[in-house]
Structure 1
Amino acid sequence: MPTAATIGRILAVAFTFLLIPAPAGAKDSVKITGASVGLPTGRDDAHVTKFGAWAPVHVQLETLREVTEPAELVIESPDADEVTTTFAVPLNLATDRTAIGYVRPGGAASEVTITVRAVKGGALSEPFRVRVRPREPLQYVVLALGGTPAGFELPKPAGAGAETPPLRAGRVELTHIASVAQLPDRWYGYEGADLAVLNTGTAPDFLKQLFGDDSPAPNKQKREALIEWVRRGGRLVISAGSNAALAAQLPALKSLLPFAVKPDAPTRQVDIAGLVWSAGSGQANTASAALTGRGTRFAMANLVPQPDRTARVLIPPPSQSTEERQPIVAQAAFGLGRVTVIGFDLDRAPFAEFSARPDFWDFVLRECGANRASSGGDGKPRPPGVVTEEEDSATVAMRAHNDTFDGVPVVSFGWVALLIVLYILLIGPVEYYVLKRFLGRLELTWITFPIIVLTVSVLTYVSASAVKGRDLKINKIDVVDVDAPSNRIYGTTWFTIFSPRIDSYTVGVTPGSGWGTDEQPKGTAVECIGAPRSGRAGITRRKYAVEPTGLENVPIQIWSTKAFSANWSSPLDIPVSQAPTGQTHRRLEANLVHPPGDRAKVLGSFEHNLPLPELTECVAFYAGQAYPLPGEVIVRGAPVRLVLDQGTPATQWLQKNAGLDALLARDPAYAQRPVQKNVQRQPLQQTALGGPLPLMGMLFHEGALKNDEGVIAGNASLRRLDQSWRLAPDNRDEVIVVGRVAPPLGSAEDVLTGPNAPAKLWLKGLPSSGERRPVPGTARQETWVRFYIPVK
C-alpha cells in the first residue's frame, strides 16, 4: 500500500506536467484580431446588415507562425431554415493581413463564426464569433461613398419637436464607407444598400484610388463590383462640384455619368444657384430654394450631354429648361440601374449651410432611389436596436406561389392535431382497456406497444407517400430583362424544390441554351431564401457550402421544400462564331423613331431572336403611357409593328391590372390539371384576384400602388427589379415591352431545358464541373421578359 509521501510525490509530478505548456498546435498559427459584418455607420463601430441581403465581412489577421500550406477564410452562419452555410475565401498568409468575405443573415439575430483553415486540413485559428442583428428588409439604407454627406437629414413630420428625430421614424438609415479598402469586391456586397451616394468634394484620393487607370488590381475589382451592382438594379448618385475636373479625367467614372463633365471647362464659379425640384409624386408639385455661398463663390460642374447616352434633366425641370439654363441634375439608366449626377458637392459648403437641405435630401431619396420606399414605409417608429421580422408582401407572395405544388395537397393543422389525439388515445386508454379487459395481462404492453408504434409508423409513411408522391417537383419563375443600350441580358430566377426523400442537392444556375454566350457567366449569385427565423444553427449541424457557381450539398428533408433564388447576366449579342447555323447573331433588332416634330409618339418595328417561341399578353410602356399590343402576342423572328400615339396612363393601367391584389395570383385551374409526360402550354386564366398580368405588380411595383394614405411599397427584397421610375412622362428615349410565356408543366428535364426556360438548372453537380445530370421528376416553368428598346 503506497504511503502518503508516495502519493504526494505522484500528485506533484502530475501537477508539474499539467503546468507544462502544450506544444503549439495548428490553431495557434493565425489569430483573428477583429471582424466586422455589414456596412459601417461611423457610430461606435456599428454596422448595418439586412435580413436576406448579402453583407460584407471584413476580417483582420495576425500570423503567429509561418504557414506554408494553402489556407482559406471560412465564414459560417445559419440560413433562414437554421442550416449552417459556409463561405470560403482563399488566403495567402504570407502577405494577407486583411480579408473580405460575405454572409447572408437568416434571422432576427445571427451568430457569424469566422475561422482560418487549411484547404486540406484542420483549423489554423480559433473561431472568432460576431453577433449581428439584421434590419428588416423594409429598412431603407443610404450608403455614402467617399466624403461624408453634409448634414444628412430629412424633413421632420408635422408636430415634431426641436430635438432631432430618427430619420423617417427609424426607417431610413445612413451608412458611410470612407476608405476604398472597406469597399466590397463583389457586386452583391452592396445588396444591403438601397441608394449609394458617391461624394467627390472632400475625397479626391478616394476617387483616384477607385476609378484611376493606374489603380491596383484589388481596387479595380472593387470598382467593377460597384459598377456591376448598378447594372443589376442599383441606384447611384454622383455629386461632382469642386473636383469635377478630376471626374472628367477618369474614363471609368465617365462611363457612369448620365451627362459628361465638359473637358475644356469642367467647372464654373457662381455666387448663387436657383434650384427647383420635384416636391412630390405629382409633376406640378415643386420646391425651390437658392443655394448661395454667402459671399464666396463656389464651383459647379458644367454638365453636357453625352453623344451616345440618353438622359433626363431633373433640375431645372423640363418646364423651366432653356438653352441659357445649364443642367444641374441629370439622370439616366445604366442597365437596370439608375445613375444621377448632381453638379455641386453634397459633402461640403455651401450645401452644408443650405437652408433647404432636408427637403433636397428628400428629393434625392425619392427621385434618385425609390419614391415610396424612401418615404418611411408605414410610419411605425423603429427604435434603435429593436429588430422585427417583418417581410415585404412581394417576397412572401413569390415564395408562397412557388411553394404550392400541383398534386401535393397541404394537410391542415386540424387534421394533424386530430391524428395526434387519436394516436395518444390508441397507445394509452385503448391499449390499457384491451390488455386489462380482454387479455388480463398488462405486462403484454412490452409487446403490444412496439407493435402499435411500428404499425402506425408504417401506415403513416405509406399514407404520406400516397398523398405526397414519390417524384421530385420543381416550381420555377424567370424574369429576364433584355437591355439593348447596354447589350446585356439580366436574369433573375426563383425556384423551389420539393424533395420526396431525405437528400442533399448541389444547386447551380446558368443561362439556358441560346440565352448566354458563356456557360459559366461571372458574378452569378445563387442563394437560399426563406422567412426569418431565430438565426441559430440547428442541433443537427447540417451544413452546405456557398460556391462561386452555386450551392453544394444543400440538405432537404423528406416531403419538404427549399426555396432558392439566382441572379445571372450575359451579353445580348451572340458572336457570329457562336450563332446557330442559319440564324442571325442579333438577338434584338429594332427601328423605333419619333415622327417628325412629335416626340410624344413612336413609330417603327422590332423583332427578337431569343429562344422563346411565343410571348403572350404583351404590353408596351412609353412616356408614362401603357399600350396593350394588338393580339398581345410576339413570335420569335416576326417583326412587331408599334404605333404608340394614344395610350392609357401607365399608373392607371397598372393599378387596374397589376395591383397588390393581383400580385402573383395563381391559376386556379392548375390543381385540376394532371401532370403530363410531355410539356404542355397552359395559359394563365384571369382570376378573381386580379388581371391577366399579376407579375406586373413586382416588375413595376410602385407604379401599381394606389396613392391612398397608408399604402406602402412591399417589394423591399425585390426593389432592384422595380422599373417604375422609367415610366415618367418625360422619359421619351425608350420603349419597354413586357410579355410572358404561358407556363409549361411536365417533365422537369424537358421544362427546365426547353425553349421557354431562360435559366438552366443544375441539381447534382455545379456548373464548374462541366457535367450536368438530367433533372428527374416534374416541373412548372413561368417566364416573363422585358425588352428595353431605344427610340432614335
Structure 2
Amino acid sequence: MRPAAEARPTAGLQVLAPRRNAVASVMVWLACLVACAAVTSSLAVGAEPGVWEGAVGFNGVYRTGSWTPLLITPATATRVWVEDPDGELVGYPAVGDTIGEGAGNPPRRFRVRFGRPAGRVLVEDDRGAQAPLRLPVPLESTDEVLLVIGDLPSAERAARLLQREDGERIRVVALPDATGLGPAGLDLDGADAIVVCGSAVTSAPSAALAGVDAWVRRGGRLVFLAGASAAPPGLSEGPAAAWLPGPAGRGGRVVRMAPLRRSAAIETYSKAGRPLDRNVLGGLEVPFFEDPEAIDGAIEAWEGNAPTDLPLVVRRAHGFGTVTWAGIDLDRGAFRNWQGTDSLLVELLGGRSGKGGRSAEVNRQSLDLGGQLRMGVDRFEGVLPVPFEWIAGLALLYVACLYPLEWWLVSRGGRPGLAWITLPTVVILFAGLVWWTADRWKGAEWRVRRADLVDLDVAGQIARGTSVFGIWSPANAVVDLGAVPSTAGLVAADRTAVVSWYGAGGRGIGAVDCPTAHPSLASVPYLSAAGLTGLDRVPVAASSSRLFEAEWIAPLTELPVVSTLRRDAQGTLSGVLESRLPFALQECSLFHAGWTYDVGAFDPGTRFDPESGKGPRTLASFLTRSATVYDRTQTQAWRVDDTDVERILEVAGFHAAAGGASYTSLEAGRLGRIDLSPLLPIDRAILVGRGPAGTAWSCGAGRGDPGPAPPVDDSPAEATWRIVIPLDKFSVEKRSP
C-alpha cells in the first residue's frame, strides 16, 4: 500500500503539467495576437506620428471657423481629415492651384475649416493610411486678425490704439512678403483686414496678389500704402494696379510723381499729436494720376485747394469690399518712427469706433448675429418641441402604471404570474404613446429652411451669393449635398459654389470655439467633394437637423440695372434708375449714405426717380424701425431671440449703418463679411429687395446608401437681393483741411 501512497504526488504533478502547458500556450497565442495587432496597426497608419509636416494659416496663425490654407509635406498626402463643430471628421481633398512653394518637393495644398479648437487632424496618403498631424492652437473665431504684408512696425502700435473696451486687441500677423499666400480669396478668409506695403508688391507673385484681390472683391477691407513705390512703371500692370484710385471699376494710372510741399493735410487727417519733421518733406513725392476728376470713391485727404488737385488718401469700393489708398510709404524713411504714423494707420483702417448704447452688453464669446441666424434657420415648419407638460405627464403616468396599478392588479387576484402579461403590455403601450407624441409634434416629413442673399456689383460686373441651408430628417439618412448659382443669379450656368458646414462663432453649445464637441447623434466621417463644391455621405440622425452654407462669386452675364443716379448739392440722389432684370423685385428700397428711398415693386423695365414721391428718410431709423410719436422718437429694440430670417439678414447686411453692437448688442460674427455699410458713403447706392433664390441646392441619397432619396423641395424659396450701383461723379466735396 505504501507505493500507492507515494504515487499520489506524482499523479498531481501529471495533472498540473497539462494545465501549465495550456497556460503557456495561451500566453504565446496572446503574444502573437498582440504582435499581429501591432504590425497591422503600423501598416494601417503607414507612418509614425510626426512624419507629416504642416504649415497652416499665416505663419502658423489661423482661426476656427474660417477657411484656412494648409500645406502638407511630403506631397503624397491626398486628403486631410478635420473635425467639424459636432466632432465628426470631414475629409478635404487637395487643391490643384499652387504658387510653386519649393522647387524640389513642393508641399500639397489643402483648404480646410477647423470646427473645434482642439479637434483631431489626420493626414491620409495615397495608400489610404492615416496619421495624426500636430498643429499650433488656433485663435478663437471672435478674434480679429490684421494681416500686414511688408515691414510696418507701426501696425502693432496701431493695434494697441484700436483695443476694445474689454481689453481685446487685434492680432497683427506680419509677413515680409506675399510669397506664402494662396492664389484664392478663400485662403485669406481668416483675416479681417489686410495692409499691403507697396514695396512688397513689386517682388510678390502675381498669383498671390490675385488672391488678395479676390479676397477684397468678396467683401474684404484693404489698406494699400503706395507712394514712391507706385512710380511708373512699378504698378502699371498686375492685380495691384486695380488698387490705385481711378474710375469706377478700373484702376488708376500714375503719370508722374509730384512733390509734397506741405504736411498739414496728412497731420490733420491722422489727428497726430506731433507734427511731421519739415526736413522729411525734402524730396518726398506722391503719385499724380492721369484723370483725378474721374477718381471713384471718397478723397479723404488731399494737398491743394480742391480734392482733385493732389489726392493723398482715397477710399473706394472694389467689388463688395473697400480699398483705402495712401500715397505715402509708411514703411520707409521718417514715417517708420513718426508718432503720427500710428494714428494715421488707425484712420486708414476705419478709425476708432465710439460705441455706446447696448455695446456694453456684448459678450464676444457667446451669441452673435451668425448664431442668431443659425437659430432662425434651425426652425422648421411643422417641427415643434414636445411640451414639457406632456413629457412630465407621461413620465408620472408611466411610473404610476409600473408600480401602484400593476401591483394592485397582480396582488388582488393572488396571481403573480399575471405580471408576465401586464408588464410587457404597459411597456408596449407607453412606447407607442411616446412614438405617437413624437410624430405628432415632430412630423414624419423632410423639412427645409434657408436664408438666401444675392449681391450684384454693377461697376465690377460681378455677383456674389451667400446661402444657409437647413434640413430636418425624420429618419436616419446619409445624404449628398451640393449648391450652384441658379439662373436667376444672372451668371453663367457652369459656375459652382463652395459648400461647407455652418457653424456659429463663440463658445456656446455647437459653436466652433466650444471646448467640447456638440454630442452628435450620427458620428460618422463624411467627405468634402472635389473643388469644395459639395459634401458627400453626410450622416443625419432621425428627428434631427443639420445646417450648411454655400458661397459663390461669378462675373455677371448682363447688367441688372441702368442708372444715371448722382448726388446733388444737398447730398441726396437725383437721376433715374431702370430695371433690366428678367424678374420683379418686391419691397424695394434704395440706400445711399444715411438715407433710404421707398421704391416698392421694381418690375422689369420699371424706372424709378428718387426725386419723386415723399422723399427720403434716415437709413438708421429705417433699419431700427424707429417712429416718431408725440415728438419723441421710439426705436424698436433688437431681440436676440428673434428668429425672423429676413429681418436678421437685413440688419446683418447693414450692421454698421444700423448702429452695430450699439443697437443689437451683438457682434456681426461671420456675417460681417456681408455688411455693405462701408460702401454707402463712397459714391455707391444700393437697391435692396426680395426676389427669387439665387442659389440652387441639391440634396440626394448618399452614394452607396440603399435608402431612398430625401424628398427635399426648396423651389418656393426667396432671397434678399442687393444691387450695388455706382453714382455719376458730381463735384461736391468738403473743404481741404
Instruction: Place the TM-score, normalised by the shorter chain, in its bin.
Output: 0.7 to 0.9
Change (3 A) 1:327 1:396: same
Task: Quickly say closer, same or farther: Cα 1:150–1:411, change in 2 above 3 A.
Answer: same
- Equivalent-residue separation in structure 2 for 1:75 and 1:32 (angstroms): 16
Equivalent in the alignment of 1:544:
526
Q: Call closer, same or farther: CA 1:504–1:346 in 2, change over 3 Å.
A: farther
| Percent identity over paired residues | 21
Residue 736 (structure 1) aligned with residue 736 (structure 2): no
Counterpart-to-counterpart distance in 2, 1:605 and 1:640: 5
Cα deviations by residue, 1:681-728 (Å, 9 ceiling, x for unpaired): xxx9xxxxxxxx6643122111112796x9755212111211112232
Show the counterpart of 1:615: 585
Give the equivalent residue in structure 2 for 1:788.
724
1:223 deviates by 3.4
Who is 2:731 aligned against? none
Q: Check the 8 A contact 1:151/1:352 in 2, yes or no.
A: no
- 64, 67, 91: which one aligns with 1:54: 67
Superposed CA deviations along residues 374-412 of structure 1, whole A, max 9, x for unmatched, are: x99957999xxxxx74231x2233222222222222224
Structure 2 counterpart of 1:677? none
Supply the distance in 1 between the matched residues of 2:376 and 2:261 (Cα, whole angstroms). 56
Q: Secondary structure at the match of 1:351?
A: helix
- Choose which of 190, 201, 212 in structure 2 pairs with 1:226: 212
User: Please, which runs of 5 or more residues in structure 2 have no aligned partner?
Assistant: 1-13, 505-509, 627-634, 704-708, 729-737
Cα distance in 2 for partners of 1:501, 1:18 equals: 40
State the partner residue of 2:137: 132
Residue 325 of structure 2 corresponds to residue 341 of structure 1: yes
1:132 deviation in Å? 3.4
SS in 1 for 2:256: coil
1:563-597 Cα shifts (integer Å, max 9, x gaps): 22211123222xxxxxxxxxxxx442413154998
Q: 2:370 aligns with which of 383, 386, 395?
A: 395
How far residue 100 of structure 1 moved from its aligned partner, in angstroms, is 2.9
Alignment of 1:2-41 (within 5 A): 25=43, 27-28=45-46, 32-40=51-59
- Checking the alignment, whether the CA contact within 8 Å between 1:329 and 1:342 is kept in structure 2 is yes
State the alpha-carbon separation in 2 of the partners of residues 191 and 569 from structure 1. Answer: 14
- Is 1:627 the counterpart of 2:627? The answer is no
SS of residue paired to 1:208: coil
Which one of 70, 81, 96 corresponds to residue 75 of structure 1?
Answer: 81
Partner of residue 275, structure 2: 290
**Counterpart amino acid of residue 636 in structure 1:** P
C-alpha contact (below 8 Å) 2:458/2:559 kept by paired residues: no
Once residues 699 and 24 of structure 2 are traced to their aligned partners in structure 1, the CA distance between those partners, rounded to angstroms, is: 65
Quote the Cα distance in structure 2 between the aligned partners of 1:338 and 1:717.
Answer: 18
Alignment of 1:28-177 (within 5 A): 28=46, 32-40=51-59, 47-50=61-64, 52-61=65-74, 72-77=78-83, 79-89=84-94, 96-107=105-116, 109-118=117-126, 121-123=127-129, 126-130=131-135, 132-137=137-142, 139-154=143-158, 169-177=167-175
Shift of 1:598: 8.1
Instruction: Verify the 8 A CA contact 2:597 2:616 in the aligned structure 1.
Output: yes
TM-score normalised by the chain length of structure 1 = 0.73
Specify the code of the residue in structure 1 equivalent to 2:174.
Answer: H
Q: Quick one: distance in 2 between partners of 1:789 and 1:315?
A: 24
User: Which consecutive unaligned segments of at least 5 residues does structure 1 have?
Assistant: 158-163, 212-219, 280-285, 383-387, 574-585, 669-683, 685-692, 742-755, 768-772
Q: What displacement does 1:73 show?
A: 3.0
Structure-2 change in CA distance of 1:288 and 1:327 (3 Å): farther
What is the distance in 1 between the residues matched to 2:643 and 2:518? 34
Distance 2:534 2:636 in 1: 34
Counterpart Cα distance in 1 of 2:139 and 2:567: 52
Bigger mean CA offset, 642-651 vs 472-481:
642-651
SS in 2 for 1:590: strand
Checking the alignment, whether the CA contact within 8 Å between 1:435 and 1:442 is kept in structure 2 is: no
Q: Equivalents in 2 of 1:589, 1:166: separation in Å?
A: 41
Q: What letter matches 2:54 in structure 1? A: A
Q: Is the 8 A contact 1:172 1:376 kept in 2?
A: no
Q: Deviations over 1:481-537 (max 9, x none)?
A: 111111112111122112122112211111112424433425634433354144548
Matched, 1:208 2:203: yes
Count of matched residue pairs: 675
Aligned to 1:258: 245
Q: Distance in 1 between matches of 2:603 and 2:276?
A: 54
Q: Mark the CA change 1:757 to 1:601 in structure 2 (over 3 Å): closer, same or farther.
A: closer
In the alignment, the residues of structure 2 paired with residue 425 and residue 6 of structure 1 have an alpha-carbon distance, to the nearest angstrom, of 55
Residue 225 (structure 2) pairs with residue 239 (structure 1): yes
Q: Secondary structure at the match of 2:339?
A: coil
Contact 1:167/1:173 (8 A) holds in 2: no
SS at match of 2:51: strand
Structural mapping, 1:215-614, within 5 Å: 220=207, 222-245=208-231, 247-259=234-246, 263-266=254-257, 268=259, 272=263, 274-276=265-267, 290-292=275-277, 297=282, 299-304=284-289, 310-316=296-302, 322=306, 326-366=310-350, 378=359, 389-392=365-368, 394-413=369-388, 415-427=390-402, 429-430=403-404, 433-434=407-408, 437-438=411-412, 440=414, 448-522=422-496, 524-530=498-504, 531-532=510-511, 533-536=514-517, 541-547=523-529, 548-573=532-557, 586-594=558-566, 600-610=572-582, 612=583, 614=584
C-alpha displacement of 1:248: 2.1
Residues 199/641 of structure 1: CA separation in 2 closer, same or farther (3 Å cut): same
Secondary structure of the equivalent of 2:386?
Answer: coil
CA contact (8 A) 1:627 1:644 kept: no
1:293 touches 1:350 (CA, 8 Å); kept in 2?
Answer: no
CA contact under 8 A between 2:255 and 2:288: conserved in structure 1? no
* SS class of match (1:410): coil
Contact between 1:197 and 1:237, CA under 8 Å: does it hold in 2?
A: yes
Q: Give, in whole Å, the separation in 1 of the partners of 2:389 and 2:172.
A: 47
Indicate the SS of the match to 2:379.
coil
Q: 1:450 to 1:278 in 2, by over 3 A?
A: farther
Q: Does the 8 Å CA contact 2:591/2:680 hold for their aligned counterparts? A: yes
| 2:674 is the alignment partner of 1:704 | no
Alignment partners' CA distance in 1, 2:30 and 2:537: 47
Query: Aligned partner of 2:386: which letter?
Result: V
Cross-structure match for 1:747: none
Does the 8 A contact of 1:526 with 1:551 survive in 2?
yes
Contact 1:506-1:551 at 8 Å conserved across structures:
yes
Q: Work out the CA distance in 2 between the residues paired with 1:12 and 1:594.
A: 90
Shift in alpha-carbon separation, 1:39–1:660, aligned structure 2, 3 A: farther
Read off the aligned partner of 2:604 and give its amino acid letter. Answer: R
CA distance in structure 2 between the aligned counterparts of 1:711 and 1:321, rounded to whole angstroms: 42
TM-score when normalising by structure 2: 0.78
